[in-house]
Amino acid sequence: MANILHIDTSPRGERSISRSLSYEFITSWKDTHVGDIVTYRDLGHSPVPHVDESWIAAAFTPPDARTPQLNEAIKLSDSLIDELLAADRYIFGVPMYNLNIPSTFKAYIDQIVRVGRTFAADENGFKGLVDSSKKVLIITSRGGAFSPGTPFAAYDYQEPYLRAILGFIGLIDVTFIHAENLNTGDDEREKSLVAAKEAIAEAVANW
């Protein structure tokens, strides 16, 4: 039995492609892994706050030296990190916004990437503290084509950033499914969605 953390990041509802595809994956997964527990977080509709000065002060103050105000400032971050660490696998639905990720997801990442909790720093550099055997599946939706070999591949700051920041905290087993060309005509859109759904079915079988 596995504990899966499922996160959607799009502010859209029923019109969201990333939501519909992540839902398709998790629904199929639960059908074949009946005992698994899924924790769902909707960052698109219930965003977490951005890091502020109190948060920074709390993050760099030893727990036994924090004031009640600093404990309150870091409380949500602690909860989000506990939730992250409790999960065995991760499924993220992430649309591409302006060549990168939505600000809702960036705010979440800033809450969970924390020295002493998800990464360590010393004279030898940085080390991720999250179990590197845990698997991550990221389903993206993109208006154009940005995968390697396409003319606009150099503009993809979404997958490289997510691979880098997740690897920074220890999550190195990351798989991407890209639904691309969603704004380039009905034929290309349909072709991409069919390919994404086929990749989702394969991920359900082999992830």
- 3-state DSSP call for residue 56? helix
What is the Cα–Cα distance from 152 to 1, expressed in whole angstroms? 41
Give which of 172, 57, 66, 169 is closest to 120, Cα–Cα.
169
pLDDT of residue 195: 96
Beta strand 119-122 with 125-128 is antiparallel
Number of folded domains that form the chain: 1
Beta bridge mates, 49:
none
pLDDT of residue 1: 85
If you count DSSP H runs as helices and E runs as strands, how many of each does the chain have, helices first?
6, 7
| The pair of three-digit structure tokens given for residue 164, joined into one six-digit string | 């880098």
pTM over 0.85: yes
- Cβ neighbours, 10 Å, residue 107: 16
CA angle 110, 114, 115 (to 5 degrees): 150
| 93 residue type, one letter | G
Task: State the sign of the Cα–Cα–Cα–Cα dihedral 198, 200, 205, 207.
Answer: positive
pLDDT of residue 74: 97
> 23: domain CATH number?
3.40.50.360
Per-residue pLDDT of the chain (207 residues; tens, 9 = 90+): 899 999 999 999 989 999 999 999 999 999 999 999 999 999 999 999 999 999 999 999 999 999 999 999 999 999 999 999 999 999 999 999 999 999 999 999 999 999 999 999 998 899 999 999 999 999 999 999 999 999 999 999 999 999 999 999 999 999 999 999 999 989 999 999 999 999 999 999 998
Per-residue pLDDT of 157-196, as tens digits, reads: 999 999 999 999 999 999 999 999 999 989 999 999 999 9
Give the range of the structural domain holding residue 137, as residue numbers without chain letter: 3-206
Residue 175 dihedral angles phi and psi, to the nearest 5°:
-115, 135
| Long-range CB pairs of 75-82, under 8 A, 24+ apart, other chains included | 76/48, 76/49, 76/111, 77/111, 77/112, 77/114, 78/117, 80/48, 80/108, 80/111, 80/112, 81/111, 81/112, 81/114, 81/117, 81/118
